[in-house]
């Protein structure tokens, strides 16, 4: 029986460092589970000074914990086995990875349709939306239909689990910046699709960055932002290139109004704000708040403002705000 389920999820548009947070916390848990998305997502995790990337396997693999790819996910078998091979070659125990039997399978037809018809929305071309479409049309193929039994989860899980989200609040299919969103539920209640009661949810740990980025297309992130030398410095110093696609991300100063809204919408109890060291290297500290661009003299002033304004934001459940640096500095 599951005793408690803590949830790590993104509060912006993705790429906030959720994988780093999950990997750092994983040793406290009995299972680490992914509940949404597919190989369109990516986590970059540093272990003993070496960089590792995952796309569908939960970050608990780096802590030697049993990992489940939940029923709300979609999977490309070819890319899954490439990822498994790379993780195994790197010395991780891939026998810990299990797939929920109801996970849906991405086919070549899905990928072709994605590339031909959805490119204008800035998708990764991984076949995600067509796969979810077939799922909803009741004509999809599931993992139980094509994976060997060694990979299929037997339904047994107990103890304390960590639920690891992909993408983020403003990419949610229901509440995000539609239509520039993903095809699954990114808010933390979606974690219950793993197979537990909402009453089991404990900590809701939202992850943000000290500035905002977005992969793909979004009117909120016009490409003209790349022409701003300070924004370009954020991208360069932050290494803002997609884990899955390698695309240069669009960036902007942190939108505090959107962050407060994401915290309120999701019921966040704790916030981790990553990549504060990037602001230090660029030497510029700004946030958008109440329709204005506010600038600070140093990181300390930036942090004080963030804590004060979020405390005054009538966020009833929020009780902890922490500031962190880039993954490679952990």
For residues 270 and 198, membership in a common domain is answered with no
Q: What is the pLDDT of residues 46-58, one digit of tens each?
A: 888 888 889 999 9
For residues 182 and 260, membership in a common domain is answered with no
Cα maximum dimension of the chain: 58
Contact 126, 247 (CB under 8 A): no
**How many Å apart are CA 180 and CA 211, to the nearest integer?**
19
**Boundary-marking domain end, from 161, 183, 208:** 208
**How many Å apart are CA 247 and CA 218, to the nearest integer?**
14
**How many Å apart are CA 306 and CA 286, to the nearest integer?**
11
pLDDT class of 329 with cuts at 50, 70, 90: very low
**Boundary-marking domain end, from 164, 183, 208:** 208
Q: Which domain holds residue 161?
A: 2-208
Question: Looking at the chain, how many residues does it have?
Answer: 330
So what's the pLDDT on residue 314?
A: 59
The mean pLDDT of 319-328, rounded to a whole number, is: 84
**Number of folded domains that form the chain:** 2
Question: Of the listed 15, 172, 212, 218, which one is catalytic?
Answer: 15
**Boundary-marking domain end, from 208, 237, 252:** 208
For residue 217, is pLDDT > 70?
yes
For residues 72 and 96, membership in a common domain is answered with yes
Contact 143, 106 (CB under 8 A): no
For residues 133 and 218, membership in a common domain is answered with no
For residue 245, is pLDDT > 70?
no
Question: Of the listed 43, 104, 110, 289, which one is catalytic?
Answer: 43
CATH of the domain at 93: 3.40.440.10
So what's the pLDDT on residue 327?
A: 65
- 15 annotated active-site: yes
Contact 24, 278 (CB under 8 A): no
SS3 content of the chain, % helix, strand, coil (to 5): 35, 25, 35
The mean pLDDT of 140-169, rounded to a whole number, is: 96
For residues 120 and 12, membership in a common domain is answered with yes
Q: Which residues pair with 272 in a beta bridge?
A: 207, 322
For residues 172 and 241, membership in a common domain is answered with no
Instruction: Report the DSSP pairing between strands 211-214 and 250-255.
Output: antiparallel
**How many Å apart are CA 226 and CA 222, to the nearest integer?**
8
- 134 annotated active-site: no
For residues 66 and 204, membership in a common domain is answered with yes
For residue 29, is pLDDT > 80?
yes
pLDDT > 70 fraction of the chain, expressed in percent and rounded:
96
Nearest partner of 54 among 275, 244, 327, 249, judged by Cα = 244
Strand (E) or helix (H) holding 238: helix 229-238
pLDDT class of 244 with cuts at 50, 70, 90: low
pTM for this entry = 0.94
């Amino acid at each position: 029986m599951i005793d408690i389920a803590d949830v790590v999820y993104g509060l912006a548009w993705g790429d906030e460092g959720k994988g780093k947070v999950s990997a750092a916390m994983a040793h406290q848990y009995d299972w680490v589970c992914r509940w949404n998305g597919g190989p369109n997502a990516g986590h970059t995790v540093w272990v003993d000074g070496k960089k590792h990337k995952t796309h569908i396997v939960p970050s608990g693999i780096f802590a030697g914990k049993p990992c489940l790819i939940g029923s709300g996910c979609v999977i490309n078998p070819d890319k899954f086995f490439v990822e498994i091979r790379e993780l195994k070659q790197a010395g991780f125990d891939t026998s810990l990875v299990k797939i929920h039997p109801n996970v849906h399978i991405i086919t070549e037809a899905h990928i072709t349709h994605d590339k031909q018809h959805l490119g204008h929305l800035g998708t990764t071309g991984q076949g995600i939306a067509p796969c979810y479409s077939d799922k909803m049309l009741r004509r999809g193929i599931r993992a139980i239909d094509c994976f060997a039994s060694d990979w299929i989860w037997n339904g047994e899980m107990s103890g304390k689990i960590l639920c690891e989200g992909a993408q983020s609040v403003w990419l949610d299919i229901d509440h995000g910046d539609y239509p520039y969103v993903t095809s699954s539920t990114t808010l933390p209640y979606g974690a219950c699709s793993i197979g537990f009661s909402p009453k089991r949810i404990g900590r809701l740990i939202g992850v943000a960055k000290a500035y905002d980025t977005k992969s793909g297309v979004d009117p909120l992130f016009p490409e003209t932002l790349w022409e701003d030398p300070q924004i370009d410095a954020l991208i360069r110093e932050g290494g803002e290139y997609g884990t899955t696609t390698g695309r240069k991300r669009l960036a902007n100063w942190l939108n505090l109004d959107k962050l407060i809204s994401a915290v309120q919408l999701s019921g966040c109890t704790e916030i981790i704000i990553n990549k504060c060291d990037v602001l230090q290297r660029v030497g510029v500290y700004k946030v958008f708040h109440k329709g204005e661009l506010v600038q600070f003299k140093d990181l300390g002033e930036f942090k004080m403002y963030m804590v004060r304004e979020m405390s005054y934001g009538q966020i009833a459940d929020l009780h902890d705000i922490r500031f962190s640096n880039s993954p490679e500095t952990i």
